[in-house]
Amino acid sequence: YQQMLLVVKLPRVRELLLVLFTWKAGFACTDAAFFLKLQDKGFSKESITYLRTIMSPIEFVMPILASHYTTGPRPLDLAMWQYVPRLLLGAVACGLVAYTPEEIGWEFTAVVMLFMAVHSAMSTSMFTAQMAFFARVSDPEIGGSYMTLLNTFANLGYLWTTMVATRLVDMLTVKSEDGEVEIDGFYATSMLTLGLGLIWFVLMRHRVESIQVAHMSSWRVAAIRRGRATSTL
């Protein structure tokens, strides 16, 4: 635990934790509510489960394809290249929910499958870039615990943003006295998270760049230990 506290005290690690804790906000509504809304519109849960099974090869192949871009000194470039396009998928998700036909045929199912394929490819490659960066900066003196700490914060960033997005969808949904939905909070929440994601990209992309080009010594716990030793002299 003392080693983990030392890791968190590193300025570069704190910067990275800020990024990890916030960068999923722009995708939160799509990740949390899109498939639930499709089900509300009549798209069966079984069909979604089947389509997710079809996406499995993409999740297997994408890390291999992404490795061409993540094995070098700038693995996060891959994630940042896809950040805005993935945000725009939120607008596409709104369109799919809004125009879900009453009779769902193979044409609409094919469109949903294409959406899922693109979404899966982007999310998997961004995750690959993230893990490649963790592996690159982790202090070898600590081992896997360093990567576990970073991955834990990344997971927390996903969890709190999707929880808030789900809550916002419920709060912004207006129903009539007989329970019919008059205003669906999914659309407002989707646009809100998309806007937050664009703001995040503008404000944080340079911070991500500075994190990525930081000298490797700034990620090492030994830097703090040397500082302590110097202060005691």
Compute the residue count for the chain. 233
Structure tokens at 109: 């199912």
Q: Is the pTM of this model over 0.85?
A: yes
Exposure of 123 in the CB half-sphere (CA atoms within 13 A): 19
Alpha-helical regions (H) of the chain: 2-9, 11-22, 28-40, 45-54, 56-70, 76-98, 106-137, 144-172, 185-213, 222-232
**Residue 178 DSSP label:** T
Helix (H, G, I), strand (E, B) or coil at 174: strand
Res 111: pLDDT: 96
Q: Which residues contact 42 (CB under 8 A, 6 or more apart)?
A: 100, 102, 104
Res 226: pLDDT: 54
- 228 vs 61, 121, 232, CA distance in Å? 46, 45, 6
Residue 182 phi, psi dihedral angles, 5° rounding:
-95, -40
Structure tokens at 232: 């005691």
Res 142: pLDDT: 79
Res 223: pLDDT: 59
Res 141: pLDDT: 81
Residues of the chain scoring pLDDT < 70: 1, 143, 223-233
Res 232: pLDDT: 43
